Amino acid sequence: MQIISFRMPKSNSLLIKEALSLSPLPPYLSGLNLLMANHLMLLFLALFTLSVSAEVFVNLDCGSSDIYTDENSLIWYGDDSYIQNGESKTVQASSSIPHVLSTLRVFSTRKKNCYSFDAGTGGKVLVRASFYYGNYDKKSSPPTFDLQFDGNYWATVVTSSDQAVYYEAIYDIKGQSLSVCLAQTKPDQLPFISTLEVRSLDSGMYGHADPNSALLLTRRVAFGTNDTVRSPDDTYDRIWVPAVVGNGLMKVESDNLIMVVNVADYPPEAVLLSAITSTSSNASVVLGTNLPTQKVPIYMNMYFAEMSQLDSTEKRSFEIYIDGKSISDPIIPPYGSVLEMYITNVTASSNTSVSLVATSDSTLPPLINAMEVFSVYDALTDGTNSKDVEALASLQSNFPILQEWSGDPCLPSPFTWDWVACSTDQTPRITALYLGGFGLSGLLPDFSSMDSIQTIDMHNNSLNGEIPDFLGTFSNLKELNLADNDLSGSIPSSLSKNNKLKLVVSGNPSLCVSGKSCKTTTDTGTSTTPSGSSKKSSKLPVILGTIIPSFAIFWVIVGILATLHHKRKTAAIAAMSAGQMGGPGKPSGPPQATPTGFNVQMAGKIGEAIINEFRVDMTQQTGSDIPNSTDQQTYQGDNQIT
């Protein structure tokens, strides 16, 4: 379930309000007509609101299945409607953590596991992911893993036993959806996530950043507050953390309870009603940035509002310095409103000094209310080619088991989906599908837009129906393995005649090879495609009609051989009687009995061997004349099919 809130932009609200005040109802709209008109007007307002601002506002309590409202009036939902993988876990009890961090989802399978969100027409979003280990596995071993968004590397998440960490990114979505992924990078260190939040931002917010880059939050601070500020004070639920005030600094509060916020990034009024300043009029204010040790491109927002009405003898004027060099004109904070300053096109690190330094004519020290610091992630990827993404969506829609994979199928490159291979182009293409033994069943959907495919392996599934013609349109296809399915009909000639293609279709009993007869004509002239049993029965008359005359010929031959053998035996006995006498009148002993039983048995075995050999030859010959699709494994044509 995706939760979407709708908010009327300020400018459009004003326009509608003015339209209502300037458009009186015609005289004929009275009574019921007036009631109907009011309903129509409300419907118009609703439609207008939806058309100008359909915004995403999602709060996921990962590992939970509950729906509840927290102390910040935020409605949280369990995450099981957004992801199919992972296992819910509960952290060890701690009274110091908020309820939303008491559960998590851990992932023990897949290279990466992703949450995906429909973002409509795109736009600028704030995405925040939080992690609290809480020794959920009782191993006291907090893991490290990668965090990704929309096919881009985001951060290496380093968790601790007792501290929650969160990561936030602001960027323009390039498509109509967004994804957040957890990727395992070390053996036995399983990725997990505690919360995931997505908020649409107004298109003009953070508008000085390159739209092809992402802003990765390093610090957002409300210098003068005592408590964290977020929703409902901040419409966009940004988290403003109170600052620790060091020596030489002090907090000041506004004597004006009304603050006009008319700057592009809409800081909440709650962070503008207090500030920090130096205790000395000529001292500078040094600002911590929480940047990494290596230099990175940065984007900074600073917000300034005067806390009291100054008299004619007072002046607060200062400049922004980076590493001892001024990068701004003099800043004079306004009273009752806010001034926003931004810094971009600068590289900085944790060693970079950022400070506010009073100008020579200032009588008051520098002052600052709030600040945001981002590192800039340049050159966001466009993601995998949209045609391939569309084709994969078709496969996933048809085969629900494939819906366990989400996010970008190819990017980041070490974390492709388990069953695809991709090119190394800047915008990757799908080059292979490895779906053998995935339990796919039913008809193959059309994924012809995947026109860079080279290998398709879908063996050992339960695919049925005919082999689709579109498979023959892939100009780069080198291997197609559809073995051991339930496919039927003929193989398209575009595949069987492709001499550059290795085509494997064995194990499909009802499949016929294109170019060969797949039908048998009966006496009535009706053509049918025979089943395995009918093919066997159709061979029987041929075998019987051939073997019966053969028996007659065989027994004629046996009779001739027996007659010749008897004559040779009689002659041999006569010769033996004459040549083996002991002498005249002395017999040599009784004559040896004729081995008639031996000859009959031998003749029978010879005949049996001849019959068996003849049957084997007949079966082989019949098998080549009448194709048996049950036994057929290989067809040698313009290409090899095995």
Specify the higher pLDDT residue, 597 or 229.
229
For residue range 320-333, list pLDDT tens digits in order. Answer: 999 999 999 999 99
pLDDT on residue 120: 78
Specify the higher pLDDT residue, 484 or 596.
484
What residues does each domain of the chain span? Answer: 58-203, 219-374, 386-520
Q: Are 466 and 443 in contact (CB under 8 A)?
A: no
Separation CA 296–CA 376 (nearest Å): 7
Residue partners of 54: CB distance under 8 A and separation at least 6: 4, 6, 120, 121
3-state secondary structure of 634: coil
pLDDT on residue 575: 35
Tokens of 170: 């602001």
Separation CA 463–CA 486 (nearest Å): 6
Provide mean pLDDT across the span 340-368. Answer: 97
Q: Which pTM value belongs to this model? A: 0.73
Burial of 334 from C-beta contacts in 10 A (0-12 / 13-18 / 19+): exposed
Q: Name the pLDDT band for 378 (thresholds 50, 70, 90).
A: confident
Q: Are 473 and 448 in contact (CB under 8 A)?
A: yes
Among 301-315, 354-368, 542-556, name the one with the lowest average pLDDT: 542-556
State the angle between helix axes of 532-579 and 596-625 in degrees (0 to 180), rounded to the nearest 10.
Answer: 150
Q: Tell me: pLDDT of 6 over 50.
A: no
CA 437 to chain centroid:
19
Q: Which contiguous run of DSSP H or E holds residue 325?
A: strand 325-326
Share of the chain above pLDDT 90, in %: 66
For residue range 232-281, list pLDDT tens digits in order. Answer: 999 999 999 999 998 999 999 999 888 889 999 999 999 999 999 999 98
Percent composition of the chain: helix, strand, coil (DSSP 3-state, to 5): 25, 30, 45
Whole-number average pLDDT of the chain: 79
Q: Are 442 and 398 in contact (CB under 8 A)?
A: yes
Q: Name the pLDDT band for 94 (thresholds 50, 70, 90).
A: confident
Tokens of 105: 């989802």
Distances (CA, A) of 562 to 357, 578, 598: 129, 24, 12
Q: For the domain bounded by 386-520, which CATH number is listed? A: 3.80.10.10
Separation CA 357–CA 146 (nearest Å): 39
Q: Tell me: pLDDT of 115 over 60.
A: yes
Provide mean pLDDT across the span 586-595. Answer: 36
For residue range 468-522, list pLDDT tens digits in order. Answer: 999 999 999 999 999 999 999 999 999 999 999 999 999 999 998 655 556 533 3
CA 78 to chain centroid:
20
CATH superfamily for domain 58-203: Galactose-binding lectin (2.60.120.430)
Specify the higher pLDDT residue, 9 or 430.
430
pLDDT on residue 635: 33
Domain 58-203 matches domain 219-374 at the CATH topology level: yes
Q: Tell me: pLDDT of 61 over 70.
A: yes
**How many other C-beta atoms are found inside a 10 Å radius of the C-beta of residue 382?**
16
Among 58-62, 510-514, 548-552, top mean pLDDT goes to 58-62
Output the DSSP codes for 122-135: -EEEEEEEEE--TT
Return the CATH architecture of domain 219-374. Sandwich (2.60)
- 75-78 and 67-69: which strand pairing? antiparallel
Cis preceding linkage at 232, omega within 30 = yes
